[in-house]
Amino acid sequence: MGAPQEETPEQMRRRTLVGATSLAVLGEVVQGLAEAHEVCAPRDAFAQAGMELAITGIQLDLGQLDTAEPFAASAVRTYGQAHHRGRIQAELALADVHVRTGDPRGVVLAQRAIEAVGTLQSVAVRRERLVPLVATSEARPGSHAKELARTARQVAATQM
């Protein structure tokens, strides 16, 4: 394996241009999400919660945890006890945000969300819903996070 080659000015220019373009597109996506949330009039509260949950997922993917948190919290409140699956998804997203940030409440939120996922009948659905929280928990330092990941994997694999 040879020494790394120096980047030519043309390669550096292209890399910089691609980076700047990516940041511009990302900025437009974030702005578009904000506008869609303001402009779209969902047909009911559950449609609103679904939109907020979708925005939460996108913001999580973008690493915008401060933006994701209020959308996830709002979706949890809106779904309440009236929409079991939607509430579980929103609780998982909210827990994911708090675990990623290292917020101590994240452990409690995650434990509640994992317990709620355990009420779902389908192993495949439980596994799908828990994958992001398992990954987030495994990436965090500390025994609480590792225990969350272990518990989530166990719930995901348990036959009802």
Per-residue pLDDT of the chain (160 residues; tens, 9 = 90+): 455 567 777 776 667 666 666 656 666 666 666 666 666 666 788 888 888 888 898 888 888 899 999 999 999 999 988 888 899 999 999 999 999 999 989 999 999 999 999 888 888 888 888 888 888 888 888 888 889 889 998 988 887 6
141 inside domain: yes
pLDDT at residue 96 in the model? 94
Q: What are phi and psi of 119, to 5 degrees?
A: -85, -10
| DSSP for 73-110, written as a single string | HHHHHHHTTT-HHHHHHHHHHHHHHHHHHT-THHHHHH
9 inside domain: no
55 inside domain: yes
114 inside domain: yes
27 inside domain: yes
| CATH number of the domain residue 78 falls in | 1.25.40
Encoded tokens for 10: 């043309």
11 inside domain: no
6 inside domain: no
137 inside domain: yes
Residue 84 sits in which domain range?
20-157
| pTM of the entire predicted model | 0.74
Looking up tokens 């948190």, which residue turns up? 69
Structural domain total, the chain? 1
Angle at CA of residue 136, ends 135 and 139, nearest 5°: 85
Nearest to 152 by CA among 85, 103, 101, 99: 99
